[in-house]
Structure formats: C-alpha cells, structure tokens
Amino acid sequence: MSDVKIDEVPITGIPSDKRITQIKNDFFEEFGTMPQFIVKVPGRVNIIGEHIDYCGYPVLPLALEQDILIGGKPIDVQELHLRNTNKKYIKYSTKLLSFEDLDIKADETGKPYWYNYVLCGIKGAIEYLNNEIVGGLQLCIDGNIPPASGLSSSSALVSAACLSFLYAQKVYPSKTEIASLCAKSERYIGTQGGGMDQAIAFLAEKYSAQYITFDPLQAKPVSLPENAVFVVAHSLAEANKAATNDFNRRVIECRLAAKILAVSNGASLDQKIINLSQVQKNLNKSLDEMISLVDEFLCKNSYTKNEVCDMLNITEKELNDIYLTPNTKHLSEFKLRQRALHVYKEAMRVESFRKICEDNFSNGSCKNGTNGSSHTNGNSGSLEPISVLGTLMTESHESLKKLYECSHVNLDRLVDISKAMNVHSRLTGAGWGGCIVALCPKEIVDNYIETLVDKFYVQYCNIDKNEALAYVFATTPSHGAVIYK
Ligand code: GLA
C-alpha cells in the first residue's frame, strides 16, 4: 500500500492474472508501450431497494467479482485514446477539450456508443478539475460484467474512466467524493440515475453488502446469512436504460409525485423539494403515514399533463421546462400514485431487510443457528430470518412488476421457476430485462442453478446447457475500486 489515506481509493501492486496480462499485452499492441497503472471497478447486484436511490432512500447492494479493468498511461498531448480488449468495440480518439466542449452523442438510433460512458467519466473529471488539466491519456479497457444486464457495467465503466483520469492528473478525492462525482458524470449520458451504482463501486467491502444512505453519502456494512447465497441469473432480455425513456419517465413521475404531495400539504411551490424522501422529512411523517397521504392526494391511477399543471398551478411550458427531461417532454400521462406507493413501500422493505440482517447475522454467521429454531424481531414473527428476507424480496419484485412496471416476461418467468423451488427472487437493477437476484439456501444452490439452466435457458430460451452456465452464477460480495500500479 502507498501512503494514500484510508478514505481514498487504495493503491496496491499489480497482481498477476490472466486478464491483467491480456490488458497489458493489448495495451502494448495498441500503443507500443506498457500501461503505467490499472484501475479496477466492480459491477454490483442490488439485493433490495430498487428505484428508490434517486428518491433519496437507502439501498442495499453488494459488489460483484466481475469488473471493469482499465490500463492507462498519461501522455503529453491533450488527447484521449480509447481501445477495448473486445474487438467488437471500435477504437476512439478525441482531443481533450474543456468539459463544456466535450460532446457526448448517441448513434443514429439513439443508443449510446460504448465509449460514451468513458467520455461521461472524463467529462465529469474535467469539470471537477475546473478545466485545469495537464496532458492526456491512453486507455485500454477490459470488462467481464455482462453489458445491459442490470449489473451496473455502465456505471463501472464511467467510474473507472473518471478514476483513471483523476489518478493520471495526480488528484485523489475521497471515495465518497468520487462516487458522488461519478453519479453526476453518468447523467451526461441522458439518464437521471441515482447514486447507488457508483457508491457501491467505491465503498464496497469484501464479504458484506452495504446499506447505502444518501445526502450525505454513507455506507454501512450489512452481514448476510452464512447459510444462503445470492444467485444472479440473466433473463437474456437486454436492458439498456439509456436507449429508451423508460427510466427517466419513472424518475420524473417520482419527482412530480413528490412536488404534488408537498404542495398539497402546505409547501409553497418554490420550496425546493426534489424527491419523495424530502417530502417525508419536511412533513415529519413515517413511511406508513406517507402511504396514507398518497392514498389521499394521489388517488387516481393516471394523471394527464393538464391535471398535473392544475395541481401544481403551473403552465404546460413550466412543466416542460422545469420538471421534464428532453426525452420525457412529449409524455401525456403520468402514473404518480403507483410510483410513489412503490417507493415508500420499497423503502420500508429495505429497513426491514437491514434490521433482520443486523439482528440475526454478524460477520456472515447466523446468530440464532440455521436449523429452523430461530426467531427474529417483531417484523418476522416466528419465521426463519432467511424466509422473511426472501418474502421481502418477493414483495419487492411484485411491486416492481405491478406498481413500477419495470419487469419483463423473462424476468417474471425466472422468478416463477424460482418460486416453484421455494427460492425467493426479484429483478435487480433498473429492470425491463437484465437479471434477477435470488436468495438461495446453500444446500440447494447446485440444484437451483441446474433447474434454472434446464427450465429457463434450455427449455424456454432454447440455448445450449454449456452456454447457459455463463448466465447464472452464485455471488461472493467483493471489494470496491482499486488502483494497481
Ligand atoms: C440504475 C440506476 C441506479 C438505480 C437503479 C434502480 O442502476 O443507475 O441509480 O436507480 O437503476 O434501482
């Protein structure tokens, strides 16, 4: 370890493994020189707390072993050269301009180019440095997080690029500072994400999930049951949240719901209320009480633009300019009630989940034993803690499917196959495709994976058994970002 501070991204010697060797070789082939450093940023799976980070509520993800690796070398000229070890990703070079001039454009179908995520991280870093940058950078990227799978490959790429750039500029922000910077930087892609993915990317610790709270950003390790594992299974439906307006639509529906709840309960329109958690704080209510307020003030299943304008006493132009994003301005209806109900109930589930873990497991062990004799707190009655955790995950999925409408038939099928084996699961990440995460008792994990392979991948998706094994895996909580040098 070098003399970096404890709250900075750790810097350690370069380990020798196959992917590191590959990246070094590719770097040499592309640039005729060796990388000076390699950064590693993990993907994540969110255990519970979906679509609530951008509403200001805590979430509970863990870092995966799959990651983005970037080999980097500073150069004298103010240029950026990007290469990927996967040759399907095209080469890209650009002059390094001021952050205001660094343009990030999607392709003609509106889908971002792979390197746009790198540019987001670099643009954010240049902005953070007030355009005071020295020289440029050569980067070679390698990733093994399946893309468009809801496992945060994009955020890991943004974060790894931002970290590489700042490190090359000899700037070492704290982990929370760079996590917040990366969350902001990723919005240059056009989606209004929260900060969960970037927070876990930097604040993760091995062997535990993290309870992440926002404003201010903090992470607290959460011990998980020792006798169960979290299994991730890909639905084979791609989920690229920057390619459609589904994600932003949910974000603005939540913002509008927050504003209407605030105004209906006495706040003035110009009071700064940006999310559902702020309304709760301002009104000094419990989550249960917020749910009653939603029932009272957001009772319709759908609101037109005019109705929203009337409730807020604003013009359509004000609604478009102040509240909507470029890709949501054309929307004509908003499901405010369903989204707000999901958020408040999901926030409650996160609290219950964390409390059960805190009360029952420490350092990966089950305090009350694992043989069915345990009793948890009031929330769980006399049930096994793991089964209560599982029920919370199942409820989360139901809510994401019905109230948030961000599931996919393939995800639902995976959840149903799991249910038939008494394994609780839910979609993880933004949804509309991507992966499920399942809480599976250790003693049946092999059987569970085999059943998913057979019933979902082979029988339903018609893919080969060996190929299928690449899409389903048991996770081990990994650590956060590292710099190797
Ligand atoms: C994406 C976003 C996160 C979060 C999840 C849904 O991964 O980047 O901030 O909103 O979706 O929970």
Which residues have CB under 6 Å of ligand 1?
A: 46, 50-51, 53-54, 152, 155, 193-194, 196-197, 429-430
The residue to mutate among 48, 51, 244, 276, having the most atoms of ligand 1 within 8 angstroms of its beta carbon, is 51
pLDDT score of 38: 98
Q: CA gyration radius for the chain?
A: 23
pLDDT, averaged in runs of 10, over the chain (485 residues): 75 95 97 98 98 98 98 97 96 94 90 95 98 97 93 97 98 98 96 96 97 97 96 93 90 97 91 90 97 98 98 96 94 97 98 97 56 38 84 98 98 98 97 97 97 98 95 96 98
Half-sphere exposure of 369 (CA within 13 A, CB side): 5
Contact between 33 and 26 under an 8 Å Cβ cutoff? The reply is no
pLDDT score of 242: 77
User: 231 forms bridges with which residues in the sheet?
Assistant: 438, 474
pLDDT score of 375: 34
Q: Which atom of ligand 1 is the closest one to the Cα of 51?
A: 12
Ranges assigned E (strand) in 1-135: 11-12, 37-48, 60-75, 79-84, 92-95
Q: What angle do CA 172, 173, 179 make, to 5 degrees?
A: 130
Q: DSSP state, 51?
A: T
Rounded Cα distance between 52 and 63, Å, is: 18
Q: Please state at what angle helix 385-402 crosses helix 409-420, rounded to 10 degrees.
A: 150
Most distant pair of Cα atoms in the chain: their distance: 66
Domains of the chain: 11-222+479-484 (3.30.230.10), 230-240+351-373+387-475 (3.30.70.890), 246-335 (1.20.1440.340)
The protein residue whose alpha carbon is closest to atom 10 in ligand 1 is 51
3-state SS class at 221: strand
Half-sphere exposure of 417 (CA within 13 A, CB side): 23
- Report CA(62)–ligand 1 centroid distance (Å): 13
- Report CA(241)–ligand 1 centroid distance (Å): 9
Q: Which atom of ligand 1 is the closest one to the Cα of 50?
A: 12
DSSP codes joined into one string, 274-305 = -SHHHHHHHHT--HHHHHHHHHHH--SS-EEH
Residues labelled as active-site residues = 197
pLDDT score of 380: 47
pLDDT score of 23: 97
The protein residue whose alpha carbon is closest to atom 1 in ligand 1 is 430
Q: Which atom of ligand 1 is the closest one to the Cα of 150?
A: 7
Average pLDDT over the chain, rounded to an integer? 93
Which single residue is written with the structure tokens 């994009």? 154
- Residues sharing a CB contact under 8 Å with residue 473, sequence separation 6 or more, in sequence order: 231, 232
